[in-house]
Amino acid sequence: MRYDLNLLPIFVALMEERNVTRAAQRVGMTQPALSNALSRLRVMLQDQLFIRERYGIQPTPIALELAPRIAEALAKLDDAVLGQQAFDPAKAERVFTIAPNGYVEFVLVPAVVARLQQVAPGIKLRLTPYGNDLAETGVVSGTTALVLGRIVDPPDNLVVQHLMDESLACAVRADHPTVGDTMTRAQFEALKHVNIMPPGRMRAGLFQALAQQDLKREVAISVTNFFAVAEMVAATDYCATLPSLICQRLRQDPRLKILPTPVDLGTFPVEMAWHVRYRQDPAHRWFRGLIADVVRELSASA
């Protein structure tokens, strides 16, 4: 039997989006054209595949059984084709969409952009929100090239690479009235604090570390990104507990001073993840290598 391989990416889009309109947008088709393709898919695979419901479509048991096999087959096909293609970063013209969390956007992305300007000026970055879960970033469907941050419960179609482990430090204003060159547990607990609220399940990290050490923290204000912290701390007697590489950047601000945390709060992982279909893409592999190199250099300079 002869199969129309053009229909298989449409099956994957429908499976991951669970919505005909979004699937059509993802594969660059009109909705009627995609509906026609779905009809041909049903004939080819001899099953209804997707059932319309009030809020989208739901796969049949046969579609659920076929989905991982089809995704794996497409990934292997991508590996075979893309693996033969040459890639010259100095001449390449390409846009990578990435989803960095707030920490990565503050610490890593500027260094990556600077490196791209030096070695691959035709490659551009587009940043998309990290979101509340991996599906919202677009990396699960493959529309986003990379997600960078802390990867929690990745699905089977993502490859995850550990980049580094990051520690924590404290920032207060340089002329703080009660804190000198070190900070005790009692001082930490007596201060009011600036809290940074990362998205979704990432919120638990620092709170868990504090709880494990039985270290109390009175949060006076919560902000949504690291860019607001320096101004907030410089204008108040508040304290902020931040990743060490961010604190290293803030050392350059004469209004602030950086201190070790009063107790060891451990480390947190920094990772990147990508869809399996990009595993052997030469451009994607080169870009991942560039990011890993930049991370190693930043870590060595800390």
CATH number at residue 66: 1.10.10.10
How far is CA 166 from each of CA 99, 194, 210, 261, rounded to the nearest angstrom?
A: 19, 19, 16, 14
- Answer whether residue 87 is part of any domain: no
Q: Are residues 22 and 60 in the same domain?
A: yes
Q: Are residues 262 and 277 in the same domain?
A: no
Q: Which domain holds residue 190?
A: 168-266
The listed range with the strongest mean pLDDT (60-74, 82-96, 181-195) is: 181-195
DSSP at 156: T
Q: Are residues 261 and 279 in the same domain?
A: no
Q: Are residues 194 and 222 in the same domain?
A: yes
- Answer whether residue 1 is part of any domain: no
- Answer whether residue 61 is part of any domain: yes
Q: Are residues 174 and 232 in the same domain?
A: yes
pLDDT band at 253; cut points 50, 70, 90: very high
**pLDDT > 90 in the chain, percent:** 51
- Answer whether residue 104 is part of any domain: yes
Residue 76 CB contacts under 8 Å (≥ 6 apart), including other chains: none
Instruction: Express each pLDDT in 209-226 by its tens digit.
Output: 888 899 999 999 998 888
Cβ(244)–Cβ(129) below 8 Å = no
The answer to which of 23-27, 52-56, 67-71, 198-202 has the lowest mean pLDDT is 198-202
DSSP at 199: S
Quote the mean pLDDT of the chain.
88
Q: Are residues 63 and 175 in the same domain?
A: no
Q: Are residues 108 and 253 in the same domain?
A: no
Q: Which helix (H) or strand (E) holds 52?
A: strand 50-53
Q: Are residues 13 and 75 in the same domain?
A: yes
Q: What is the CATH number of the domain that holds 250?
A: 3.40.190.10
Please give the pLDDT value at position 61: 92
Q: Are residues 15 and 105 in the same domain?
A: no
Q: Are residues 100 and 121 in the same domain?
A: yes
Q: Are residues 181 and 138 in the same domain?
A: no
Q: Are residues 257 and 282 in the same domain?
A: no
Instruction: Express each pLDDT in 79-115 by its tens digit.
Output: 666 555 668 899 988 899 999 998 999 999 999 999 9
- Answer whether residue 238 is part of any domain: yes
DSSP β-bridge partners for residue 242: 169
- Answer whether residue 98 is part of any domain: yes
Listed residues 82, 117, 148: the one ending a domain: 82
Residue 200 has pLDDT above 90, yes or no: no
Number of domains in the chain: 3
Instruction: Report H helices in the chain.
Output: 7-17, 20-27, 31-45, 61-82, 102-107, 109-119, 134-137, 185-190, 204-212, 229-234, 244-250, 282-301
